[in-house]
Amino acid sequence: MILLVTKVYKYTNFVLFYISIYYHHIIIYLINMSKKIYIIDGYNFLYRVFYAIPPFSLKDGTPVNAVFGMAKILLALHREDRPDYLIFTLDSRSKARMELYPEYKGTRDRMPDNLKIQESIIMEMLRIMGIKHLKVDGYEADDIIGTLVTKLAPLSSEGEGLGVRQDNYNIFILSGDKDLYQFIDGNVAIYDTMKHKVYHTAEAREKFSVDPKHIVDYLAICGDSSDNIPGIPGFGPKKAESLINEYGTLEQIYENIEKITGKTRETLETNREIAFVSKQLATIDTAVPLDSFSLREHIFAERTFLTPEVIAFFTQYDFRSLLPKEHVQTKDFSSLKLKQIPILGESEIETCLKCLKKTRKISLATYGERFALSGGTLYFGGDETYVFETNMVDLKPFFKEMLSSFSDFISESGEVVSESPSATADGWVPQPVEKKNQKNSYQIIGYDLKKDLERIEAYLEGTSSEIKTGQMGLF
């Protein structure tokens, strides 16, 4: 009898093991079948890119840092993330919220002039890229996003009205707005591209200490300064967290007001009206009329991104680092009418050091493996350029002087990085330059300074090209 029970037990475990494997493969299969949708909060994204990329302009003075940043991110999304669909939403003035609370968003400054100039260029770029934006009069981008998320949720019959078939969608909202966290669910997440972090339910709870479904109640209590949602005076995130985790929604908090004592109860009773107004302001409208919307018009991954029109746009705005190599126009020294002087010994090195100390500026270009310097070109202005090969001359004294005191790196894109490197066991790390040294420091200019400086660092330290990628990244 005992032997029979043992055999049955073993057989049952064997069957359960294979059933678990079967369902595991089914789950993986369903995940792989899921379509990925990226929904971008347009102006939120635009502002964040504008402030994240250091200012730079074209030769005619047109600022293009936000245009470049947006183009670079969209190109990266197509190459790396490859969402099946990408929807770019734009704000309109919310009539309902303004009628409810005229001071809504009243603390926001107007768009900076340097960003306003770039707005129309970015819209033109989106058109050229085939990325259609979605805007509805009287509704904010958040409302459009909320409606899309609701309609495109898996197993929802409501999606039929948006020109989509019932696929299983994983939806990522690209925004930094707190109120959009209320939509986080099993298949909906917030993707903060600036921090390279995806927020699902666990991450959202870690961030706010309340469940995503209570974000509206959270903002109703502690307010949101970015949208000028007042909240309850004197109540901050900790108080919101405490009340929500004990009682639940704002309505449930007031239903249990008799259980709350002291100053907290007094404040709640005094500010009941503004608390519920705040909740209305934070609640996203999920019934935006999107009758003409078709998801098929927002296909992203399957489209050719670098079309001739996009390449022409990047060329026009001098975004050379975004162009395929075959489209980057290069000039040889003969076309620039510069005299090449080979650096062969101490005499030429001394001349280069004098030029560096006189001009306080150097244009630099090197070649070789990523962590092995073979040669390059040094230019200090004028009609002469100095060329070198490391197997012919020792340039370590020159490069040590060049890196001993400088204020700026200027990359091909025009980006200025006012940081200096400091050698450590882990490579070079950025260190702030003291203001008192900047007057006598050197400015280093180059097309691909990251690789140039990696090669020079390896050359100075006597290391080889066998160093693994990422060990000594400067930027």
For residue 465 the two structure tokens come to: 């090209």
For residue 325 the two structure tokens come to: 């190599």
Q: Which domains are present in the chain?
A: 34-298 (3.40.50.1010), 333-461 (no CATH)
Q: Dihedrals φ, ψ of 140, to 5°? A: -80, 165
CA 473 to chain centre: 19
If we measure between CA atoms, which residue out of 351, 292, 284 comes closest to residue 139? 284
Whole-angstrom CA distances from 242 to 68, 231, 259, 261 are 44, 15, 14, 14
The secondary element (H helix, E strand) that includes residue 20 is helix 2-33
**Residues 64, 50: contact at Cβ < 8 Å?**
no
If we measure between CA atoms, which residue out of 163, 187, 159 comes closest to residue 173? 187
Q: Dihedrals φ, ψ of 27, to 5°? A: -65, -45
Residue recorded with tokens 């097309």: 447
Contacts 24+ apart (CB under 8 A), 390-394: 390/459, 392/342, 392/343, 392/344, 393/343, 393/344, 393/345, 393/348, 393/349
Contacts of 448 (CB under 8 A, 6+ apart): 321, 411, 412
Q: Dihedrals φ, ψ of 54, to 5°? A: -55, 145
- Note the pTM of the prediction, 2 decimals: 0.64
pLDDT per residue, tens digit, the chain (475 aa), is 555 444 544 555 544 444 444 444 443 344 446 889 999 999 999 999 998 888 888 888 899 999 999 999 999 999 999 999 999 999 988 878 888 888 888 877 788 999 999 999 999 999 999 999 999 999 999 999 999 999 886 544 444 445 444 458 899 999 989 999 999 998 999 999 878 899 999 999 999 999 999 999 999 999 998 888 999 999 999 999 999 999 999 999 999 999 999 999 999 999 999 999 999 999 999 999 998 899 999 999 998 999 999 999 999 998 988 988 776 665 555 555 678 899 999 999 999 999 999 999 998 888 887 678 989 889 998 888 899 999 889 999 999 999 887 655 544 444 444 333 433 333 333 333 333 345 568 888 887 788 888 899 889 988 644 333 333 222 2
Separation CA 265–CA 260 (nearest Å): 5
If we measure between CA atoms, which residue out of 407, 408, 392, 406 comes closest to residue 349? 392
